[in-house]
Every structure is written in structure tokens, then in C-alpha cells.
Structure 1
Amino acid sequence: MKIIRACIYPKDVQCITGRSERYGRKLLRDIRAYFGKAEHQFITSEEFAEYSGIDVEIINQYLKQVS
């Protein structure tokens, strides 16, 4: 059984969206602000899906492939 990662990193945002890793860092920073999280806290796949409008199943499928 493969374990799916719960958190999203800038490289994941880059691969999912096709944008740069720098854009991924900015987007994760924006998501942290949107959810009122501190700088050291992680962004979950569910939070990323809610903010981006991408279905959480698509994100989880990607995370299964790269894990």
C-alpha cells in the first residue's frame, strides 16, 4: 500500500500547473495567508484543491504517481 503525501510543495505546484517553481512558492505563500496559517505550517492537498479549484482527486492521483 502506497502512502499519499498530505502536504504540497512548490515543485508539486510546478508540475501540476506547468508554471515555475518560483510561482509555486508564491502560490503556497498566498494560500497560507488565505487560510491564516503561519509561515512554518504546511499546505494540505485539500487546501490546495479548495484554493486552486482543482479537484482533490486529480491532486491525489498526481501525489500517488510521484511518491
Structure 2
Amino acid sequence: MKMKIVRACIYPKDIQCITGRSERYGRKLLNRIKVHFGKEPHQFVTVNEFSEYSGIDLDSIKECMID
């Protein structure tokens, strides 16, 4: 029995899959989210933070996330 690994953070490639926009757009959006939440450049953006910022429900995001 193999456990499915659930990621806590989101990457530009995930945002590309979710939004249909470019990976570059995903990087820019992650930077805007970091500023919005007062994060340092080295910190990750969580799936929950992306969901809150984008207004996309968590289940829809998790369906599109790349493993």
C-alpha cells in the first residue's frame, strides 16, 4: 500500500495548469501573493494562501496540481 504525498506548497507549473496562463505568469503571481501575505522571498506559498488570494476553491486546485 503506497501513501499519496500531498504537497503543502504551490509552484508556477501548478498555476500554469490551473489558470491556463504561462509559467512566467505563475512566477509573477506567486511574487504578488508573497507580498500580499508579507512573506520573505525565500518562503513558499501554500495551497491555502493561493486559494484565498485567487478565490479558487481548494478542491479545484488540488485536482489540477501536478504530482
Could you state the TM-score of these two structures normalised by the residue count of structure 2? Answer: 0.90
1:30 pairs, out of 29, 32, 41, with 32
Ranges in structure 2 where 5+ consecutive residues have no aligned partner = none
Aligned equivalents of 1:24, 1:61: Cα separation in 2: 17
**Structure with larger Rg:** 2
Q: Give the number of equivalent residue pairs.
A: 65
Amino acid of the residue matched to residue 44 of structure 1? T
Ranges in structure 1 where 5+ consecutive residues have no aligned partner = none
Aligned equivalents of 1:44, 1:8: Cα separation in 2: 6
The structure 1 segments of at least 4 consecutive aligned residues displaced by more than 4 Å after TM superposition are: none
Partner of residue 2, structure 1: 4
| Higher helix proportion | 1
Instruction: Compute the displacement of 1:31 (Å).
Output: 0.1
Partner of residue 55, structure 2: 53
Aligned equivalents of 1:58, 1:4: Cα separation in 2: 14
| CA RMSD, 1 decimal | 0.9
- The percentage of aligned residue pairs carrying the same residue is 66
Cα distance per residue 1:20-55 (max 9 Å; x no partner): 111101100000000000000000000000000000
| Higher strand proportion | 1
Could you state the TM-score of these two structures normalised by the residue count of structure 1? Answer: 0.90
